[in-house]
Structure 1
Amino acid sequence: MSETPDSVTHMTSNSGGKIQDPDRHDTTDTKQLSHNLLHGGRGHHKVIRSKQSLRKMNSPEETNNNGEYILSRFKAILQECLAASADCENCKEESLDEWAKLIYQSMTTKARVYHDVEHVLEVLQYYQQECSVHQETPDPISKLAILFHDVIYISLDKQLSPPQTALLQDIVRQDTTTRNDNVPLITLLPPPTPRIAMVYAIFDIAAPSQRSITAPGTNELLSALVAVQTLQSVLTPPQLLQMVVAIEATIPFRPPAAIDALFQRTRQQSSAEGSTNPDAAARTALHQAMRVAYSDLGVFANEDITAFIDSNWRLLPEWFPILQSQNSATVADLSAALASVRQRPMDTTVIFPSFDEQTVEGKQRQATVNLQVLRDYMSVRELTIHMILDLLAEQLNNKNQDNHASGSQETIPIGKWNDMMARIVPALPNYADDDATKSPDDNDVHAQLLLRVLGNGRRVAYPWDAKASPLGAALFQELDLSSFKVSQLLEERRSKKDNNCTAGWLDLLPGKLMEITRSAIV
């Protein structure tokens, strides 16, 4: 996703088979897809497991070993792809080492949590499955595009690294000026070579021109420029064109019209480069490019809901960097991040746009199921935060009637917040007596999915958020497993907050659970 990732050393199979592709079952309805998510998919299938990044979470020795492994994987993939498609007389051992190191170092910056080296290898896994489902042989140029598609992520890293700067010194200038909102700018210089002119043409760029580092497509454009500068000595012009088209196609969340426009630009460029059948050449390039694009966002159609939710939790600190600062992040920052993502509209036709009558309805339906579970999961988590904050404010206000404390607890550091949650959890079993505990109806698979993720947790814990939310699971049970009631309570709280008075809101929440929580946070 240019805007999910896995422990590359342990991409394990759940039961020995392959990832199931939704588009092999186009008659499957949304309810059936939810059932598949709950019970592990249709039959035997491989699930890409989301694990802690060894590079970020383990000891220095383990981190170093994992880095060496990923470097060797990158080199092996480069060697394999170039052996199948390139003039390998120029593929010297030292060149392969240098190129693998460029990709690795570019994607191991502190700002990267989702768009890191593991993401690249995960996308390659999704691509392998895309090809298998459609009974196609994996295309080496497409795999090269995947290796390079996020090599630059300047919207996160804020500036080019020295190796990137050296490659792009005649193409890109990092400006010292900024926009009014202090977002840095770059200037794209006139193309120094026909290959760079080709990149500009595919990305529909006029040069010289200035653009913000956060402008849509900037990361992909710069990544394509690096890919061309790196591989132009070993790939032919048509191969470079195909690679660039595939990288452009990974610009996310665009309507089908954007893909149609990319096809037209590809056809024009193919004609300009002397293709005898530019229409066929462009169509082939776009078909390959869409395989890459679908793989980049493949986690949206993953039948394992925890894999999808984990991918979003890796994106949160990239969208909201404050979460990575244990000294500065507060529970209000987490709540704001949840609310922001939860409220974003998402049309699945822009996640998986179709080109040339490609079948994507199954992917779109699976994405619809995943997105709804994600939104409801975030809603319960957000509601739980508001409940605790207002209980704390109530206690503080009771101690000091002159202190209007509503909302004043939002500055609680994340670390202290996690400690508080740990105190609440042991009290929850006392609440779950026979007449209070509710289990979802077997037919309500959506509620089952949501309750499972809340209670069992995601796969990865972060310093800013634990894996499981037992309190959220208890709250969801007490609200009759109703996502609608959760949404109503959030809206009621927002309305009262806007009017600078949250008094009475806690009375709307389940009384017994409130008493248990009050006692635990004293």
Structure 2
Amino acid sequence: EKDGIIAITEEKRDSTIEMVMDIFGYKYGQVLDPFKGMNEFLSACIGARVYAALDKKGGCDPNISNSLNAKRTACIEATIPFRGPDEKGRSPPEALFDRLKVVNQTYDLGWDEEELVSEVQRSADLGNRDLENFSWTDRSAFLSNTWKLLPESNVALRQNVHYISELAFAMKKMAGFFAFLNPETIYYSFRDPEAEAIVQEKTAEAKRNIDTSLTYMRCKYLALSVLSAVAELSGGDAPISFFMGDRPITHARSKSMNLEEFLDMEHEPAKGLKFDKDVLKLLCEGRKLETKFDEKRSPLGANLYAHIGDDGVKESIKYAVHP
């Protein structure tokens, strides 16, 4: 690692790590991309070294050790998410199969064709299980799971006080990710008709989750943009609690006004308005689980969506801003 950049160097060359590199398709000098396999590769390297050290102490047969290491590494490689076909048009399992064939010969693993296919199938299945939530049929649960991940990539959301700009920025990033997420890159199978049928079902469900979530996030971002405008006109960016009515009461006789008191809470869309019933329900009733940085329900988002619908959201989001 140098200046925040992690690359594979030839210092302390290790055949165990070289096998991991071969399975991942990595080379010496390659810079690791934190968004495309770096974590998985480093995890595989650590696991390989720990396992190799234990094998030496236990006197395990090197061939057996290499075989088990390769199987474990292949499973970890398959958990790199959201990958489409490579430059040769191969799916991730197809590319993994080709690399494992070479690794099998190079490190004398002793696998036959049937075992090679079986290992790729098992790896693909693990990768699918790792992203199982994308195929959940409960939209509310799926969004709750997505919301739990927001603090991982947004440090500000780990604090006790959350500003409008912080939540709006997190929402904009997540919506941007979902806008470019291709459901066809989530689940894979390999030479297994039954698994392929399951993958198609999961992919269809994932598409519904992605579409619903994207519209939901855009409504949330649009609502936050409205609050941002009010904040700018009244002194600048502020904790979102100032506007949502949940600021702690300091005096027993104080009454905290709630945003819903100023809105039409019927949320009855105009006749002929194009909208998604699932999205409106999520905005009105809320996600399944609470988070400390955002309320489950979005009354302002629901109000806006009920008035302008899908087309209005798509057009308005172009002008949405935050401090």
Is the TM value for this pair above 0.5? yes
Measured after TM superposition, the shift of residue 366 of structure 1 is 0.6
Match of 1:374 among 205, 213, 222: 213
TM alignment of 1:98-497, pairs within 5 A: 175=1, 177-178=2-3, 183-185=4-6, 187-190=8-11, 192-207=13-28, 209=29, 211-212=31-32, 214=34, 216-232=36-52, 233=54, 236-256=65-85, 257=90, 258-326=92-160, 329-344=162-177, 345-356=180-191, 358-359=195-196, 360-394=199-233, 396=234, 409=236, 411-419=237-245, 423-427=257-261, 431-432=264-265, 437-438=267-268, 447-479=276-308, 482-491=309-318, 493-494=319-320
CA-to-partner distance for each residue in 1:351-387, whole Å, 9 max, x for gaps?
1234335412111111110001101111111111122
Change (3 A) 1:252 1:420: same
Secondary structure in structure 1 of the residue aligned to 2:258: helix
* Cα pair 2:148 2:291 within 8 Å, conserved: no
After TM superposition, the structure 1 stretch with the greater mean CA deviation from structure 2, 242-251 or 211-220, is 211-220
Measured after TM superposition, the shift of residue 305 of structure 1 is 0.9
Change (3 A) 1:274 1:213: closer
Measured after TM superposition, the shift of residue 341 of structure 1 is 2.1
Secondary structure in structure 2 of the residue aligned to 1:431: coil
Change (3 A) 1:296 1:247: same
Inter-partner Cα distance in structure 2 for 1:301 and 1:222: 28
* Cα pair 1:326 1:414 within 8 Å, conserved: no
Measured after TM superposition, the shift of residue 278 of structure 1 is 4.1
CA-to-partner distance for each residue in 1:474-508, whole Å, 9 max, x for gaps?
332233xx2222222222x34xx69xxxxxxxxxx
Inter-partner Cα distance in structure 2 for 1:452 and 1:189: 55
Secondary structure in structure 2 of the residue aligned to 1:343: helix
CA-to-partner distance for each residue in 1:302-322, whole Å, 9 max, x for gaps?
111122112221222222222
Measured after TM superposition, the shift of residue 215 of structure 1 is 5.5
Measured after TM superposition, the shift of residue 349 of structure 1 is 1.4
* Cα pair 1:440 1:448 within 8 Å, conserved: no
Secondary structure in structure 1 of the residue aligned to 2:31: strand
CA-to-partner distance for each residue in 1:420-449, whole Å, 9 max, x for gaps?
697334515x734xxx651699xx9x7221
Q: CA RMSD in A?
A: 2.9
Secondary structure in structure 2 of the residue aligned to 1:423: coil
CA-to-partner distance for each residue in 1:170-223, whole Å, 9 max, x for gaps?
xxxxx3x31xxxx3435544565432221121122223x363572521110111
CA-to-partner distance for each residue in 1:230-283, whole Å, 9 max, x for gaps?
333367322221110010011111114233222111111112233555433321
* Cα pair 2:164 2:239 within 8 Å, conserved: yes
Q: Which residue identity lines up with residue 305 of structure 1 in the other structure?
A: R
* Cα pair 1:249 1:293 within 8 Å, conserved: yes
Aligned to 1:120: none
State the aligned residue count.
292
Change (3 A) 1:230 1:305: same
CA-to-partner distance for each residue in 1:308-347, whole Å, 9 max, x for gaps?
11222122222222222345x5211211221222123011
**Percentage of identical aligned residues:** 22
CA-to-partner distance for each residue in 1:127-156, whole Å, 9 max, x for gaps?
xxxxxxxxxxxxxxxxxxxxxxxxxxxxxx
- TM-score, normalising length: structure 1: 0.51
* Cα pair 1:220 1:250 within 8 Å, conserved: yes
Aligned to 2:60: none
Change (3 A) 1:290 1:210: closer
Secondary structure in structure 2 of the residue aligned to 1:323: helix
Measured after TM superposition, the shift of residue 453 of structure 1 is 1.4
- In the alignment, structure 1 segments of 5+ residues that lack a partner are 1-174, 397-407, 499-522
Q: Which residue identity lines up with residue 19 of structure 2 in the other structure?
A: M
Secondary structure in structure 2 of the residue aligned to 1:413: coil
* Cα pair 1:199 1:224 within 8 Å, conserved: yes
* Cα pair 2:223 2:301 within 8 Å, conserved: yes
* Cα pair 2:78 2:123 within 8 Å, conserved: yes
* Cα pair 2:289 2:296 within 8 Å, conserved: yes
- In the alignment, structure 2 segments of 5+ residues that lack a partner are 56-63, 248-255
Measured after TM superposition, the shift of residue 465 of structure 1 is 1.1
